[in-house]
Chain A
Protein backbone atom coordinates (compact mmCIF):
# COMPACT_ATOMS: atom_id res chain seq x y z
CA UNK A 1 0.00 0.00 0.00
CA UNK A 2 1.09 3.57 -0.52
CA UNK A 3 1.20 6.27 2.11
CA UNK A 4 -1.66 8.11 0.51
CA UNK A 5 -4.11 5.33 1.31
CA UNK A 6 -5.99 5.82 4.56
CA UNK A 7 -4.85 3.77 7.54
CA UNK A 8 -8.46 3.03 8.42
CA UNK A 9 -11.25 2.86 5.90
CA UNK A 10 -14.79 1.93 6.83
CA UNK A 11 -17.73 1.78 4.44
CA UNK A 12 -21.35 1.16 5.38
CA UNK A 13 -20.34 -0.84 8.44
CA UNK A 14 -23.23 -2.75 9.99
CA UNK A 15 -23.35 -4.93 13.06
CA UNK A 16 -26.44 -6.68 14.37
CA UNK A 17 -26.92 -8.93 17.37
CA UNK A 18 -30.16 -10.79 16.73
CA UNK A 19 -32.81 -8.09 16.39
CA UNK A 20 -30.59 -5.38 17.83
CA UNK A 21 -28.73 -3.16 15.39
CA UNK A 22 -25.56 -1.89 17.05
CA UNK A 23 -24.13 -0.24 13.94
CA UNK A 24 -26.24 0.87 11.03
CA UNK A 25 -24.10 1.94 8.09
CA UNK A 26 -21.07 3.79 9.43
CA UNK A 27 -18.46 5.15 6.97
CA UNK A 28 -15.25 7.09 7.61
CA UNK A 29 -11.55 7.20 6.80
CA UNK A 30 -8.54 7.96 8.94
CA UNK A 31 -5.43 9.16 7.14
CA UNK A 32 -1.88 8.22 8.12
CA UNK A 33 -0.68 10.39 10.99
CA UNK A 34 -4.13 11.67 11.75
CA UNK A 35 -5.81 11.56 15.17
CA UNK A 36 -9.49 10.81 14.86
CA UNK A 37 -11.89 10.93 17.80
CA UNK A 38 -15.03 8.83 17.84
CA UNK A 39 -17.53 10.51 20.13
CA UNK A 40 -20.97 9.47 21.28
CA UNK A 41 -23.09 8.46 24.26
CA UNK A 42 -22.70 5.08 25.97
CA UNK A 43 -24.14 2.31 23.85
CA UNK A 44 -23.99 4.40 20.67
CA UNK A 45 -21.65 1.95 18.93
CA UNK A 46 -18.20 3.43 19.59
CA UNK A 47 -16.73 0.34 21.16
CA UNK A 48 -18.40 -1.97 18.65
CA UNK A 49 -16.78 0.03 15.85
CA UNK A 50 -13.35 0.06 17.45
CA UNK A 51 -13.50 -3.66 18.30
CA UNK A 52 -14.42 -4.53 14.72
CA UNK A 53 -11.38 -2.54 13.55
CA UNK A 54 -9.15 -4.25 16.15
CA UNK A 55 -10.27 -7.65 14.87
CA UNK A 56 -12.12 -8.65 18.05
CA UNK A 57 -15.57 -8.67 16.47
CA UNK A 58 -16.82 -9.68 13.07
CA UNK A 59 -18.97 -7.22 11.15
CA UNK A 60 -22.37 -8.18 9.79
CA UNK A 61 -21.88 -6.30 6.51
CA UNK A 62 -19.97 -3.45 4.93
CA UNK A 63 -16.24 -3.21 4.38
CA UNK A 64 -13.37 -2.32 6.67
CA UNK A 65 -9.64 -2.11 6.05
CA UNK A 66 -7.06 -1.35 8.70
CA UNK A 67 -3.49 -0.75 7.51
CA UNK A 68 -4.61 -2.20 4.21
CA UNK A 69 -5.89 -5.46 5.73
CA UNK A 70 -9.38 -6.73 6.50
CA UNK A 71 -9.31 -6.94 10.31
CA UNK A 72 -11.30 -10.18 10.22
CA UNK A 73 -8.26 -11.78 8.59
CA UNK A 74 -5.42 -9.88 10.27
CA UNK A 75 -2.41 -12.06 11.04
CA UNK A 76 0.42 -11.67 13.53
CA UNK A 77 2.45 -9.29 11.34
CA UNK A 78 -0.64 -7.08 11.08
CA UNK A 79 -1.14 -7.15 14.86
CA UNK A 80 2.53 -6.17 15.30
CA UNK A 81 1.73 -2.82 13.62
CA UNK A 82 -1.19 -2.05 15.94
CA UNK A 83 -1.36 -0.79 19.49
CA UNK A 84 -4.55 -1.51 21.37
CA UNK A 85 -5.68 0.10 24.61
CA UNK A 86 -8.92 -1.63 25.50
CA UNK A 87 -11.47 -0.35 27.96
CA UNK A 88 -10.35 -1.14 31.48
CA UNK A 89 -9.87 -4.78 32.35
CA UNK A 90 -9.63 -6.72 35.60
CA UNK A 91 -6.44 -8.67 35.20
CA UNK A 92 -4.94 -10.10 38.36
CA UNK A 93 -1.76 -8.03 37.99
CA UNK A 94 0.68 -10.27 39.84
CA UNK A 95 3.62 -8.81 37.92
CA UNK A 96 5.40 -5.51 38.32
CA UNK A 97 5.03 -2.68 35.84
CA UNK A 98 8.55 -3.32 34.56
CA UNK A 99 8.10 -7.10 34.26
CA UNK A 100 4.88 -6.66 32.33
CA UNK A 101 6.30 -4.12 29.90
CA UNK A 102 9.55 -6.05 29.41
CA UNK A 103 7.52 -9.13 28.57
CA UNK A 104 5.23 -7.34 26.13
CA UNK A 105 8.20 -5.60 24.53
CA UNK A 106 9.47 -9.02 23.46
CA UNK A 107 6.28 -9.72 21.52
CA UNK A 108 6.95 -6.93 19.00
CA UNK A 109 9.68 -6.68 16.38
CA UNK A 110 10.51 -2.97 16.88
CA UNK A 111 9.64 -2.27 20.50
CA UNK A 112 10.32 0.94 22.31
CA UNK A 113 12.68 1.12 25.26
CA UNK A 114 10.87 -0.16 28.35
CA UNK A 115 12.24 2.42 30.77
CA UNK A 116 11.45 5.27 28.37
CA UNK A 117 7.85 4.12 28.03
CA UNK A 118 7.51 3.76 31.79
CA UNK A 119 8.86 7.28 32.17
CA UNK A 120 6.55 8.60 29.43
CA UNK A 121 3.47 7.38 31.32
CA UNK A 122 4.87 8.76 34.57
CA UNK A 123 5.33 5.46 36.39
CA UNK A 124 9.10 5.46 36.91
CA UNK A 125 8.65 5.44 40.68
CA UNK A 126 6.18 2.55 40.43
CA UNK A 127 8.24 0.46 37.98
CA UNK A 128 8.93 -2.21 40.58
CA UNK A 129 5.41 -2.22 42.04
CA UNK A 130 3.03 -5.06 41.23
CA UNK A 131 0.24 -3.89 38.97
CA UNK A 132 -2.47 -5.09 41.37
CA UNK A 133 -1.15 -2.64 43.99
CA UNK A 134 -1.53 0.39 41.70
CA UNK A 135 -4.44 2.82 41.79
CA UNK A 136 -7.04 2.70 39.03
CA UNK A 137 -5.49 5.64 37.20
CA UNK A 138 -2.00 4.14 37.47
CA UNK A 139 -3.25 0.80 36.10
CA UNK A 140 -4.77 2.68 33.19
CA UNK A 141 -1.36 4.22 32.49
CA UNK A 142 0.06 0.71 32.35
CA UNK A 143 -2.62 -0.15 29.78
CA UNK A 144 -1.54 2.85 27.71
CA UNK A 145 2.13 1.89 28.09
CA UNK A 146 1.35 -1.65 26.87
CA UNK A 147 -0.50 -0.16 23.92
CA UNK A 148 2.48 1.88 22.75
CA UNK A 149 5.38 -0.44 23.70
CA UNK A 150 5.36 -2.08 20.25
CA UNK A 151 5.85 1.25 18.41
CA UNK A 152 2.48 0.96 16.62
CA UNK A 153 1.70 2.64 13.32
CA UNK A 154 -1.94 2.77 14.37
CA UNK A 155 -3.00 3.17 17.98
CA UNK A 156 -6.50 2.44 19.27
CA UNK A 157 -7.38 4.25 22.48
CA UNK A 158 -10.74 3.23 23.93
CA UNK A 159 -11.55 5.69 26.71
CA UNK A 160 -7.90 5.88 27.74
CA UNK A 161 -8.09 8.47 30.52
CA UNK A 162 -11.00 7.13 32.55
CA UNK A 163 -9.97 7.42 36.20
CA UNK A 164 -7.15 9.92 35.58
CA UNK A 165 -6.84 13.02 37.72
CA UNK A 166 -6.59 16.30 35.78
CA UNK A 167 -2.81 16.44 36.04
CA UNK A 168 -2.42 12.86 34.81
CA UNK A 169 -4.71 13.62 31.89
CA UNK A 170 -2.55 16.55 30.85
CA UNK A 171 0.55 14.37 31.06
CA UNK A 172 -1.24 11.79 28.96
CA UNK A 173 -2.07 14.43 26.36
CA UNK A 174 1.63 15.28 26.12
CA UNK A 175 2.41 11.61 25.55
CA UNK A 176 -0.18 11.42 22.77
CA UNK A 177 1.18 14.61 21.17
CA UNK A 178 4.66 13.10 21.13
CA UNK A 179 3.25 9.98 19.45
CA UNK A 180 1.52 12.23 16.91
CA UNK A 181 4.80 13.99 16.22
CA UNK A 182 6.32 10.61 15.42
CA UNK A 183 3.57 10.07 12.89
CA UNK A 184 1.41 7.58 14.77
CA UNK A 185 -2.17 7.35 13.53
CA UNK A 186 -4.61 7.36 16.42
CA UNK A 187 -8.24 6.37 16.81
CA UNK A 188 -9.56 7.69 20.11
CA UNK A 189 -12.85 7.27 21.89
CA UNK A 190 -13.48 9.43 24.92
CA UNK A 191 -16.19 10.95 27.04
CA UNK A 192 -14.02 14.00 27.69
CA UNK A 193 -14.81 16.43 24.92
CA UNK A 194 -11.97 18.73 25.90
CA UNK A 195 -9.64 15.78 25.43
CA UNK A 196 -10.99 15.17 21.94
CA UNK A 197 -10.65 18.88 21.15
CA UNK A 198 -7.08 18.97 22.48
CA UNK A 199 -5.81 15.88 20.72
CA UNK A 200 -7.74 15.12 17.59
CA UNK A 201 -7.62 16.53 14.09
CA UNK A 202 -11.08 15.30 13.21
CA UNK A 203 -14.00 13.77 15.04
CA UNK A 204 -17.03 11.68 14.23
CA UNK A 205 -20.13 11.74 16.41
CA UNK A 206 -21.95 8.45 16.60
CA UNK A 207 -25.44 8.00 18.05
CA UNK A 208 -27.80 5.06 17.77
CA UNK A 209 -25.35 3.21 15.55
CA UNK A 210 -25.09 5.91 12.89
CA UNK A 211 -22.56 8.64 12.30
CA UNK A 212 -24.54 11.84 12.81
CA UNK A 213 -21.66 14.18 12.06
CA UNK A 214 -18.04 14.09 10.99
CA UNK A 215 -15.47 16.79 10.37
CA UNK A 216 -12.56 18.72 11.80
CA UNK A 217 -12.97 19.84 15.39
CA UNK A 218 -13.83 23.35 14.14
CA UNK A 219 -16.45 22.08 11.70
CA UNK A 220 -18.43 19.69 13.86
CA UNK A 221 -22.02 20.77 14.42
CA UNK A 222 -23.92 23.25 12.22
CA UNK A 223 -22.82 26.86 11.85
CA UNK A 224 -25.42 28.02 14.38
CA UNK A 225 -23.98 25.79 17.06
CA UNK A 226 -20.68 27.65 16.68
CA UNK A 227 -22.19 31.10 17.05
CA UNK A 228 -20.92 32.88 20.15
CA UNK A 229 -23.35 33.31 22.98
CA UNK A 230 -23.80 36.44 25.09
CA UNK A 231 -25.41 36.07 28.53
CA UNK A 232 -26.31 38.85 30.93
CA UNK A 233 -28.79 39.76 33.66
CA UNK A 234 -31.02 42.82 34.06
CA UNK A 235 -34.11 43.69 36.07
CA UNK A 236 -36.13 41.26 33.88
CA UNK A 237 -33.88 38.32 34.71
CA UNK A 238 -31.34 36.30 32.72
CA UNK A 239 -30.87 36.78 28.96
CA UNK A 240 -29.04 34.82 26.32
CA UNK A 241 -28.44 35.77 22.71
CA UNK A 242 -26.50 34.12 19.88
CA UNK A 243 -24.68 36.63 17.70
CA UNK A 244 -21.78 36.83 15.30
CA UNK A 245 -21.07 40.32 16.66
CA UNK A 246 -20.82 39.81 20.41
CA UNK A 247 -18.71 42.92 20.98
CA UNK A 248 -21.34 45.05 19.25
CA UNK A 249 -24.08 43.51 21.37
CA UNK A 250 -22.13 44.12 24.58
CA UNK A 251 -21.52 47.74 23.53
CA UNK A 252 -25.27 48.27 22.90
CA UNK A 253 -26.11 46.69 26.25
CA UNK A 254 -23.68 49.00 27.99
CA UNK A 255 -25.02 52.04 26.18
CA UNK A 256 -28.64 51.14 26.94
CA UNK A 257 -28.11 50.40 30.60
CA UNK A 258 -25.58 53.15 31.16
CA UNK A 259 -23.81 50.78 33.46
CA UNK A 260 -21.95 47.50 33.54
CA UNK A 261 -24.47 44.66 32.91
CA UNK A 262 -24.40 42.10 35.71
CA UNK A 263 -23.41 38.48 35.04
CA UNK A 264 -22.01 39.33 31.62
CA UNK A 265 -20.52 36.39 29.68
CA UNK A 266 -19.38 35.98 26.10
CA UNK A 267 -19.09 32.28 25.35
CA UNK A 268 -17.67 30.65 22.28
CA UNK A 269 -19.32 27.18 22.34
CA UNK A 270 -16.82 24.44 23.13
CA UNK A 271 -16.79 21.07 21.41
CA UNK A 272 -18.72 19.83 24.41
CA UNK A 273 -21.53 22.36 23.86
CA UNK A 274 -21.64 21.54 20.17
CA UNK A 275 -21.62 17.82 20.88
CA UNK A 276 -24.45 18.07 23.41
CA UNK A 277 -26.51 20.06 20.91
CA UNK A 278 -25.89 17.43 18.25
CA UNK A 279 -26.77 14.45 20.40
CA UNK A 280 -29.73 16.31 21.90
CA UNK A 281 -31.06 17.12 18.44
CA UNK A 282 -30.63 13.48 17.44
CA UNK A 283 -32.58 12.30 20.50
CA UNK A 284 -35.36 14.79 19.76
CA UNK A 285 -35.59 13.63 16.15
CA UNK A 286 -36.11 10.09 17.42
CA UNK A 287 -38.92 11.26 19.72
CA UNK A 288 -40.55 13.19 16.88
CA UNK A 289 -40.48 10.14 14.65
CA UNK A 290 -41.89 7.73 17.19
Chain B
Protein backbone atom coordinates (compact mmCIF):
# COMPACT_ATOMS: atom_id res chain seq x y z
CA UNK B 1 0.00 0.00 0.00
CA UNK B 2 1.22 3.51 -0.61
CA UNK B 3 1.52 6.27 1.96
CA UNK B 4 -1.93 7.76 1.29
CA UNK B 5 -3.76 4.42 1.25
CA UNK B 6 -2.05 3.42 4.49
CA UNK B 7 -3.04 6.78 5.97
CA UNK B 8 -6.67 6.19 5.07
CA UNK B 9 -6.53 2.73 6.61
CA UNK B 10 -4.98 4.25 9.72
CA UNK B 11 -7.81 6.82 9.85
CA UNK B 12 -10.38 4.04 9.79
CA UNK B 13 -8.53 2.17 12.54
CA UNK B 14 -8.02 5.31 14.65
CA UNK B 15 -11.66 6.35 14.39
CA UNK B 16 -12.81 2.90 15.45
CA UNK B 17 -10.51 3.01 18.47
CA UNK B 18 -11.63 6.57 19.35
CA UNK B 19 -15.23 5.55 19.79
CA UNK B 20 -14.22 2.62 22.02
CA UNK B 21 -12.71 4.89 24.67
CA UNK B 22 -15.29 6.02 27.19
CA UNK B 23 -13.25 8.88 28.62
CA UNK B 24 -12.50 10.40 25.21
CA UNK B 25 -16.12 10.20 24.21
CA UNK B 26 -17.18 12.16 27.26
CA UNK B 27 -14.40 14.72 27.69
CA UNK B 28 -13.75 15.41 24.03
CA UNK B 29 -16.67 14.28 21.92
CA UNK B 30 -19.72 15.00 24.12
CA UNK B 31 -18.27 17.82 26.22
CA UNK B 32 -19.45 20.73 24.01
CA UNK B 33 -22.95 19.23 23.78
CA UNK B 34 -23.06 18.81 27.55
CA UNK B 35 -21.88 22.38 28.11
CA UNK B 36 -24.34 23.77 25.56
CA UNK B 37 -27.13 21.93 27.32
CA UNK B 38 -26.08 23.22 30.74
CA UNK B 39 -25.77 26.84 29.57
CA UNK B 40 -29.01 26.70 27.60
CA UNK B 41 -30.94 25.35 30.55
CA UNK B 42 -29.22 27.52 33.17
CA UNK B 43 -29.81 30.78 31.30
CA UNK B 44 -33.14 29.86 29.74
CA UNK B 45 -35.03 32.22 32.06
CA UNK B 46 -32.61 35.13 31.93
CA UNK B 47 -33.99 36.54 28.70
CA UNK B 48 -32.32 37.12 25.37
CA UNK B 49 -28.71 38.06 24.75
CA UNK B 50 -27.61 41.01 22.62
CA UNK B 51 -30.99 42.65 22.46
CA UNK B 52 -31.14 46.08 20.83
CA UNK B 53 -32.43 49.02 22.92
CA UNK B 54 -35.75 48.70 21.12
CA UNK B 55 -36.10 45.07 22.25
CA UNK B 56 -35.33 43.45 18.88
CA UNK B 57 -32.41 41.42 17.56
CA UNK B 58 -31.64 39.27 20.60
CA UNK B 59 -31.09 35.52 20.68
CA UNK B 60 -31.72 33.04 23.45
CA UNK B 61 -29.00 31.31 25.47
CA UNK B 62 -28.77 28.23 23.26
CA UNK B 63 -28.31 30.29 20.09
CA UNK B 64 -25.87 32.60 21.87
CA UNK B 65 -23.64 29.77 23.10
CA UNK B 66 -23.80 27.52 20.01
CA UNK B 67 -20.96 29.17 18.01
CA UNK B 68 -18.63 29.14 21.02
CA UNK B 69 -19.35 25.46 21.67
CA UNK B 70 -18.67 24.59 18.04
CA UNK B 71 -15.34 26.41 18.29
CA UNK B 72 -14.57 24.68 21.60
CA UNK B 73 -15.37 21.37 19.90
CA UNK B 74 -12.78 22.13 17.22
CA UNK B 75 -10.18 22.80 19.90
CA UNK B 76 -11.08 19.68 21.89
CA UNK B 77 -11.27 17.33 18.90
CA UNK B 78 -7.98 18.60 17.55
CA UNK B 79 -5.67 19.92 20.24
CA UNK B 80 -6.89 18.10 23.33
CA UNK B 81 -7.66 14.82 21.59
CA UNK B 82 -4.41 14.47 19.66
CA UNK B 83 -2.04 16.00 22.21
CA UNK B 84 -3.26 13.57 24.87
CA UNK B 85 -3.72 10.63 22.50
CA UNK B 86 -0.23 10.81 21.00
CA UNK B 87 1.44 11.46 24.37
CA UNK B 88 -0.33 8.38 25.76
CA UNK B 89 0.70 6.36 22.69
CA UNK B 90 4.28 7.45 23.24
CA UNK B 91 4.06 6.41 26.88
CA UNK B 92 2.40 3.03 26.47
CA UNK B 93 4.60 1.67 23.69
CA UNK B 94 2.21 2.09 20.75
CA UNK B 95 4.55 4.49 18.97
CA UNK B 96 7.57 2.34 19.69
CA UNK B 97 5.83 -0.61 18.08
CA UNK B 98 4.75 1.44 15.05
CA UNK B 99 8.25 2.89 14.78
CA UNK B 100 9.58 -0.63 14.28
CA UNK B 101 7.27 -1.23 11.32
CA UNK B 102 7.52 0.20 7.80
CA UNK B 103 4.61 2.61 8.53
CA UNK B 104 5.54 6.05 7.12
CA UNK B 105 5.24 8.90 9.64
CA UNK B 106 3.10 10.77 7.10
CA UNK B 107 0.62 7.88 7.01
CA UNK B 108 0.42 8.00 10.79
CA UNK B 109 -0.32 11.75 10.61
CA UNK B 110 -2.93 11.24 7.89
CA UNK B 111 -4.56 8.64 10.14
CA UNK B 112 -4.69 11.06 13.07
CA UNK B 113 -6.01 13.89 10.89
CA UNK B 114 -8.64 11.60 9.41
CA UNK B 115 -9.75 10.54 12.87
CA UNK B 116 -10.00 14.20 13.92
CA UNK B 117 -12.01 15.13 10.80
CA UNK B 118 -14.40 12.21 11.21
CA UNK B 119 -15.00 12.70 14.92
CA UNK B 120 -15.23 16.49 14.83
CA UNK B 121 -17.65 16.39 11.91
CA UNK B 122 -19.87 14.04 13.89
CA UNK B 123 -19.48 16.35 16.88
CA UNK B 124 -20.54 19.47 14.94
CA UNK B 125 -23.52 17.70 13.40
CA UNK B 126 -24.57 16.52 16.86
CA UNK B 127 -24.24 20.07 18.24
CA UNK B 128 -26.34 21.49 15.40
CA UNK B 129 -29.00 18.81 15.78
CA UNK B 130 -29.24 19.20 19.55
CA UNK B 131 -29.33 23.01 19.38
CA UNK B 132 -31.96 22.94 16.65
CA UNK B 133 -34.25 20.18 17.79
CA UNK B 134 -33.83 20.33 21.56
CA UNK B 135 -33.48 24.09 22.01
CA UNK B 136 -35.15 25.44 18.88
CA UNK B 137 -32.14 27.37 17.59
CA UNK B 138 -32.76 28.73 14.10
CA UNK B 139 -29.86 27.69 11.86
CA UNK B 140 -28.69 29.91 8.98
CA UNK B 141 -30.51 29.48 5.69
CA UNK B 142 -28.19 31.52 3.43
CA UNK B 143 -25.67 29.52 1.40
CA UNK B 144 -23.04 32.22 1.98
CA UNK B 145 -23.19 31.63 5.75
CA UNK B 146 -22.62 27.91 5.24
CA UNK B 147 -19.79 28.70 2.88
CA UNK B 148 -18.16 30.72 5.64
CA UNK B 149 -18.84 27.89 8.05
CA UNK B 150 -17.11 25.35 5.81
CA UNK B 151 -13.86 27.24 5.39
CA UNK B 152 -13.65 28.27 9.03
CA UNK B 153 -14.42 24.70 10.07
CA UNK B 154 -11.81 23.20 7.75
CA UNK B 155 -9.11 25.75 8.57
CA UNK B 156 -9.95 25.56 12.28
CA UNK B 157 -9.96 21.79 12.60
CA UNK B 158 -6.80 21.36 10.52
CA UNK B 159 -4.94 23.96 12.56
CA UNK B 160 -6.22 22.44 15.76
CA UNK B 161 -5.19 18.90 14.75
CA UNK B 162 -1.70 19.99 13.71
CA UNK B 163 -1.25 21.91 16.97
CA UNK B 164 -2.37 18.80 18.86
CA UNK B 165 0.37 16.76 17.20
CA UNK B 166 2.92 19.46 18.03
CA UNK B 167 1.78 19.78 21.68
CA UNK B 168 1.97 16.01 22.21
CA UNK B 169 5.71 16.47 22.72
CA UNK B 170 5.21 18.48 25.90
CA UNK B 171 3.93 15.89 28.42
CA UNK B 172 6.90 13.92 29.72
CA UNK B 173 4.87 10.78 30.30
CA UNK B 174 1.62 9.32 29.03
CA UNK B 175 0.19 9.44 32.54
CA UNK B 176 0.76 13.19 32.86
CA UNK B 177 -0.71 13.97 29.44
CA UNK B 178 -4.20 14.97 30.53
CA UNK B 179 -2.86 16.94 33.50
CA UNK B 180 -0.61 18.97 31.19
CA UNK B 181 -2.93 19.47 28.21
CA UNK B 182 -6.39 19.97 29.72
CA UNK B 183 -5.51 23.12 31.72
CA UNK B 184 -4.12 24.78 28.57
CA UNK B 185 -7.29 23.97 26.67
CA UNK B 186 -9.56 24.96 29.55
CA UNK B 187 -7.92 28.36 30.11
CA UNK B 188 -8.15 29.10 26.39
CA UNK B 189 -11.87 28.31 26.44
CA UNK B 190 -12.44 30.76 29.32
CA UNK B 191 -10.49 33.64 27.77
CA UNK B 192 -11.60 33.14 24.15
CA UNK B 193 -15.32 33.81 24.40
CA UNK B 194 -16.58 30.24 24.68
CA UNK B 195 -18.10 30.31 28.17
CA UNK B 196 -17.79 34.03 28.94
CA UNK B 197 -18.88 36.73 26.55
CA UNK B 198 -15.63 37.85 24.94
CA UNK B 199 -16.26 41.60 25.02
CA UNK B 200 -16.94 41.52 28.76
CA UNK B 201 -13.32 40.52 29.37
CA UNK B 202 -10.79 43.26 30.16
CA UNK B 203 -9.07 44.62 27.07
CA UNK B 204 -5.65 43.27 28.05
CA UNK B 205 -7.09 39.76 28.40
CA UNK B 206 -8.81 40.11 25.05
CA UNK B 207 -5.44 41.03 23.57
CA UNK B 208 -3.81 37.99 25.15
CA UNK B 209 -6.58 35.72 23.88
CA UNK B 210 -6.24 37.23 20.39
CA UNK B 211 -2.79 35.67 20.08
CA UNK B 212 -4.33 32.19 20.22
CA UNK B 213 -6.49 30.48 17.59
CA UNK B 214 -9.58 29.67 19.66
CA UNK B 215 -10.71 33.32 19.92
CA UNK B 216 -10.67 33.53 16.12
CA UNK B 217 -12.46 30.23 15.60
CA UNK B 218 -15.19 31.37 18.00
CA UNK B 219 -15.44 34.76 16.31
CA UNK B 220 -15.70 33.14 12.90
CA UNK B 221 -18.42 30.78 14.11
CA UNK B 222 -20.33 33.71 15.65
CA UNK B 223 -20.32 35.39 12.23
CA UNK B 224 -22.08 32.30 10.86
CA UNK B 225 -24.61 31.61 13.59
CA UNK B 226 -25.40 34.99 15.18
CA UNK B 227 -27.41 37.82 13.57
CA UNK B 228 -25.32 40.45 11.80
CA UNK B 229 -26.07 43.13 14.36
CA UNK B 230 -23.90 41.17 16.85
CA UNK B 231 -20.83 42.12 14.86
CA UNK B 232 -20.83 45.54 16.51
CA UNK B 233 -20.02 43.81 19.82
CA UNK B 234 -16.83 42.24 18.46
CA UNK B 235 -13.36 43.67 18.90
CA UNK B 236 -13.08 46.41 16.27
CA UNK B 237 -16.82 46.30 15.68
CA UNK B 238 -16.77 43.76 12.84
CA UNK B 239 -16.54 39.99 12.28
CA UNK B 240 -13.06 40.53 10.79
CA UNK B 241 -13.02 37.24 8.85
CA UNK B 242 -9.77 38.34 7.21
CA UNK B 243 -8.22 38.34 10.67
CA UNK B 244 -9.66 34.89 11.33
CA UNK B 245 -8.03 33.55 8.17
CA UNK B 246 -4.67 35.19 8.87
CA UNK B 247 -4.32 34.14 12.52
CA UNK B 248 -5.49 30.57 11.90
CA UNK B 249 -3.23 30.37 8.85
CA UNK B 250 -0.21 31.45 10.88
CA UNK B 251 -0.97 28.90 13.59
CA UNK B 252 -1.43 26.21 10.94
CA UNK B 253 2.05 26.89 9.59
CA UNK B 254 3.59 27.10 13.08
CA UNK B 255 1.92 23.81 13.98
CA UNK B 256 3.00 22.07 10.78
CA UNK B 257 6.62 23.11 11.22
CA UNK B 258 6.63 22.15 14.91
CA UNK B 259 4.95 18.80 14.22
CA UNK B 260 7.28 18.02 11.33
CA UNK B 261 10.46 18.79 13.24
CA UNK B 262 9.61 17.58 16.73
CA UNK B 263 7.76 14.32 16.10
CA UNK B 264 9.71 11.17 16.98
CA UNK B 265 8.40 7.62 17.36
CA UNK B 266 10.30 7.32 20.65
CA UNK B 267 12.39 9.51 22.92
CA UNK B 268 15.76 8.16 21.87
CA UNK B 269 18.05 7.57 24.84
CA UNK B 270 15.79 9.49 27.20
A interface residues with partner B (beta carbon < 8 Å):
17, 54-58, 76-77, 79-80, 82, 84, 86, 89-92, 94-95, 99, 103-104, 106-109, 130, 146, 150
Contact = CB atoms under 8 A, between A and B. Distances in A.
B100 A91 contact: no
Nearest to B101: A107
B93 A89 contact: yes
B54 interface: no
Given A58-B268, A58-B269, A86 B93 contact: yes
Interface of B: 1, 6, 9, 13, 16-17, 20-21, 88, 92-94, 96-97, 99-104, 266, 268-269
Contact of A104 (B96, B99, B101, B266): B101
B21 A92 contact: yes
A79 B102 contact: yes
A86 B268 contact: no
A52 B269 CA distance: 10
Contacts of A56: 96, 99-100, 266, 268
Given A54-B100, A56-B268, A79-B101, A94 B20 contact: yes
Nearest to A92: B92
Contact of A89 (B9, B92, B102, B103): B92
Contacts of B21: 92, 94
A99 B97 contact: no
A91 B102 contact: no
Query: Which among A54, A57, A76, A109 has the greatest number of chain B C-beta atoms within 10 A?
Result: A76
B100 A107 contact: no
Contacts of A130: 20
B9 A106 contact: yes
A160 B269 CA distance: 23
B177 to A, nearest CB: 13
Nearest to A54: B100
22 contacts: A54-B100, A58-B269, A76-B104, A79-B100, A82-B100, A86-B93, A86-B96, A86-B100, A89-B96, A91-B97, A92-B17, A92-B88, A92-B94, A95-B13, A95-B20, A99-B16, A104-B101, A107-B1, A107-B102, A108-B101, A109-B102, A150-B102
Contacts of B268: 56-58
A76 B100 contact: no
B269 A17 contact: yes
B171 to A, nearest CB: 16
A84 B93 CA distance: 13
A107 B92 contact: no
A108 B97 contact: no
B83 to A, nearest CB: 16
Contacts of A108: 101-102
B102 A146 contact: no
Nearest to A76: B102
A91 B93 contact: yes
A-B pairs with the 3 shortest C-beta distances?
A: A89-B93, A84-B100, A80-B102
A264 to B, nearest CB: 50
